[in-house]
Structure 1
Amino acid sequence: MAPSIQDPANFPWNPNNIQFPSRKELPKLAGAPEGAAWVWGKDDYLGRLNLLTPQRVKEAISEVQTGEMVRLDLPLHIPEPPAFGRQPFEHKITELAPGIAYDDSYSLNTQSGTQWDGFRHCAHIQTQTFYNGTKPSDILGPTPTPNKCSIHHWAQHGIAGRAILLDYWTYAQTHSKAYDPYKRHPITLSELKACAQWQGLNLAPQSQGGDIKVGDILLVRSGFVHRYDSLSPADRKAGALRDSHTDMEWAGVSQGEEMKDWLHDCYFAAVAGDSPTFECWPAPAGEPTEFLHSSILALWGMPLGEMWDLEKLAERCRERGRWVFFLTSAPANVLGGVGSHANATAIL
């Protein structure tokens, strides 16, 4: 039987362990940025998805109670138009034989709607290094290395496991904490914990007596999709076409050391939210630490999802009084891929 507590210096780490080093206990790795958790092997491009072992997936199936399926992807053309000037979705139908047979083709930016940010999406800024030592020249250069940090590794491994929804939007609305998801609103760790307590959850890791299990998938509802659905087409367009990246503002998880410690130390297999950035955007001016994308993707190797449709899921979880469920996702099997639409389903 595998030991339950992971020795920080014993590489590669054993994904079946149930207790892992905290962010402060991470070993210093030669040639890696400070705080890198490149601990699953020299050629690893799964990162925290290593935690989704057959044993954990099998245990997570016990969370299925009714078998109801809730799709978590927005339609591929939503939001319309996409933010940050990204290419909108295009759908074309080709007639093969009149009245008998048709094909269709899609053209999309994988970051324009419900998505996974892959490990090629964002680097450790100071060193321009992606997860597990991948460099920009491996992604786009004279002799790229399409295998490094490619999204196809996730597709071939699979994403399935126990997931938890934190419905911060409803919590805030029912506790006189009104805000606009289209404005900068940092959701602090203390607020997430208060939301969880309201839902009957303890956000400490299971090893500390809480409800978070190693390998869980965290979903945070900040209200973006709810707000988007309430806007007119003109207001949706105005919100997406603000003048520059610095003018783009979204509610999301706050930056800072406390939040980073918690996100790291819970050993989530992945995190996702309904906003275009997951984290509060933009990061605070003069923030002493890097924004969360850099830590989550480049340092820890943790898949990051954005613009997930959590509306029906939140409604059903409230009705059931239960916020834990089984989740599956099938990223695109694209060699050299940077990101992917999520193809995600919650099974209650």
Structure 2
Amino acid sequence: MLIFSSMGTIAQEPNKENPITKEVISEWMNELSNWGRWGKDDELGTLNLITPKKRKEAASLVTEGISISLARDISKKATRNNPHPLKQSITLEAWAGHNWASDTYTMRYHGNDYSHIDALCHIFYKGNMYNGFSQNLVKKNGAEKLDIQKMNTGIFTRGILVDMPLLKNVTYLKKEDIIKPEHMVAWEKKTGIKIKRGDVLLIRTGRWSRSKEEGVWNFGEDAVGLHPTMVKWLKERDVAVIGSDGVSDKYPSGIEGLGAPIHQLLLVALGMPLLDNLQLEALAAKAASLNRWEFLFVAAPLRIPGGTGSPINPIATF
């Protein structure tokens, strides 16, 4: 099968005779790079694709006034997929004639449980981050470039849900499943929706339905995710942000020496933020009942100068 690359050349899709290897991913790091596309000092990456016009178009999608949270509850209980649960300490005190309750939170949100957004400084490749910024700019007290603070105006754009279990007529995807561009095309054909420039693309695998039915399993050893060719497709469509009820990467990746090729390609080469561990069940149910797969998507990370990401509560509004 031949695929058209975003650089205007025809490339042979890797297969059993021509598999995707660490070296192939390295080639794609150059081929798919957005470095310099929005200037040598750019720190927004694909968020540049969300223009004022795109925001106004997204706002016009609100016709029902129905909003749905896409975040999971933040757990205070340790599990095999969340070894660093939230620690909460409440202080009760009297001040100025009132009694008050105040919290101190401690959490490590990156991982396979909390709903969060990855900043572009979250992962490195050959000593660099997106747009050629050195990884040495990320220090123990914070990142000096590409930190989550650069996204402080939030994400306000058209959201698209791709419900993979519905497409495949199953309750949830399993370990052997992998998400490819052909599935995106099939979803567009099924729903009549076209995934466009500046969209937030949300892919449901049915992870939480599986957890409800089978119990918690080791997600780090058995996670449904994207085939690396999806990154080429995302670049060609100029998607702004991608999110999933997983982490977009398949675990294990199947690529020797490279555990998270999707994170590497998207964050470093494309400059595309990722939304991990979203709760997409309620969204899928409402979308199916309305037969609507596009909506206004709004999300805003915490304003943390130097942060490598942020817990997040995205909202979809029909």
TM range (shorter): 0.7 to 0.9
- Please list the CA deviations of residues 94-123 of structure 1 after superposition, one character each: whole Å capped at 9, or x if unmatched: 111399310112211121410111111112
Query: Is 1:324 matched up with 2:307?
Result: no
CA contact (8 A) 2:76 2:87 kept: no
1:86–1:255: structure 2 CA closer, same or farther, 3 Å change rule? Answer: farther
Q: What TM-score comes out, normalization by structure 1 length?
A: 0.76
**Amino acid corresponding to residue 223 of structure 1 in structure 2:** G
For residues 258 and 99 of structure 2, the distance between their equivalents in structure 1, rounded to whole angstroms, comes to 62
- The secondary structure found in structure 1 opposite 2:169 is helix
- The secondary structure found in structure 1 opposite 2:218 is helix
Query: Is 1:92 matched up with 2:89?
Result: yes
For residues 345 and 309 of structure 1, the distance between their equivalents in structure 2, rounded to whole angstroms, comes to 11
How far off its partner does 1:78 sit? Answer: 7.8
Counterpart for residue 212 of structure 1? 195
For residues 88 and 199 of structure 1, the distance between their equivalents in structure 2, rounded to whole angstroms, comes to 39
- The secondary structure found in structure 1 opposite 2:90 is strand
How far off its partner does 1:145 sit? Answer: 7.2
Instruction: Give the length in aligned residue pairs.
Output: 290
1:342–1:226: structure 2 CA closer, same or farther, 3 Å change rule? Answer: same
**Amino acid corresponding to residue 164 of structure 2 in structure 1:** Y
Indicate which of 50, 59, 62 corresponds to 2:60: 62
1:79–1:153: structure 2 CA closer, same or farther, 3 Å change rule? Answer: farther
Superposition pairs of residues 94-133 of structure 1, within 5 angstroms: 94-97=91-94, 100-112=99-111, 113-124=114-125, 127-133=126-132
Counterpart for residue 314 of structure 1? 284
Indicate which of 279, 288, 306 corresponds to 2:249: 279
Q: More deviation in 184-193 or 109-118? A: 184-193
Query: What are structure 2's unaligned runs of at least 5 residues?
Result: 10-28
Superposition pairs of residues 6-85 of structure 1, within 5 angstroms: 23-25=6-8, 34-35=30-31, 36-38=33-35, 39-77=37-75, 80-81=78-79, 83=81
For residues 24 and 169 of structure 1, the distance between their equivalents in structure 2, rounded to whole angstroms, comes to 32
How far off its partner does 1:339 sit? Answer: 1.1
CA contact (8 A) 1:167 1:222 kept: yes
1:290–1:306: structure 2 CA closer, same or farther, 3 Å change rule? Answer: closer
For residues 30 and 99 of structure 2, the distance between their equivalents in structure 1, rounded to whole angstroms, comes to 60
Indicate which of 198, 210, 227 corresponds to 1:254: 227
Larger strand percent: 2
Indicate which of 163, 183, 187 corresponds to 2:159: 163
How far off its partner does 1:80 sit? Answer: 4.9
- The secondary structure found in structure 1 opposite 2:143 is coil
1:270–1:213: structure 2 CA closer, same or farther, 3 Å change rule? Answer: same
1:80–1:25: structure 2 CA closer, same or farther, 3 Å change rule? Answer: farther
Superposition pairs of residues 295-310 of structure 1, within 5 angstroms: 295-310=265-280
CA contact (8 A) 1:51 1:214 kept: yes
CA contact (8 A) 1:118 1:338 kept: yes
- The secondary structure found in structure 2 opposite 1:75 is coil
- The secondary structure found in structure 2 opposite 1:104 is strand
1:312–1:178: structure 2 CA closer, same or farther, 3 Å change rule? Answer: closer
CA contact (8 A) 1:184 1:281 kept: no
- Please list the CA deviations of residues 310-347 of structure 1 after superposition, one character each: whole Å capped at 9, or x if unmatched: 11110010001110000100111111100111221001
How far off its partner does 1:53 sit? Answer: 1.8
Q: What TM-score comes out, normalization by structure 2 length?
A: 0.82
Superposition pairs of residues 260-271 of structure 1, within 5 angstroms: 260-271=231-242
How far off its partner does 1:239 sit? Answer: 2.5
Superposition pairs of residues 163-202 of structure 1, within 5 angstroms: 163-174=159-170, 179-180=173-174, 183-201=175-193
CA contact (8 A) 2:228 2:262 kept: yes
For residues 110 and 258 of structure 2, the distance between their equivalents in structure 1, rounded to whole angstroms, comes to 27
Indicate which of 145, 150, 165 corresponds to 1:148: 145
**Amino acid corresponding to residue 7 of structure 2 in structure 1:** K
Identity %: 28
CA contact (8 A) 2:142 2:305 kept: no
- The secondary structure found in structure 2 opposite 1:96 is strand
For residues 162 and 122 of structure 2, the distance between their equivalents in structure 1, rounded to whole angstroms, comes to 25
CA contact (8 A) 1:255 1:280 kept: no
For residues 252 and 259 of structure 2, the distance between their equivalents in structure 1, rounded to whole angstroms, comes to 13
For residues 169 and 241 of structure 2, the distance between their equivalents in structure 1, rounded to whole angstroms, comes to 26
- Please list the CA deviations of residues 26-65 of structure 1 after superposition, one character each: whole Å capped at 9, or x if unmatched: 9xxxxxx623212112221111111112221011111111
How far off its partner does 1:178 sit? Answer: 6.8
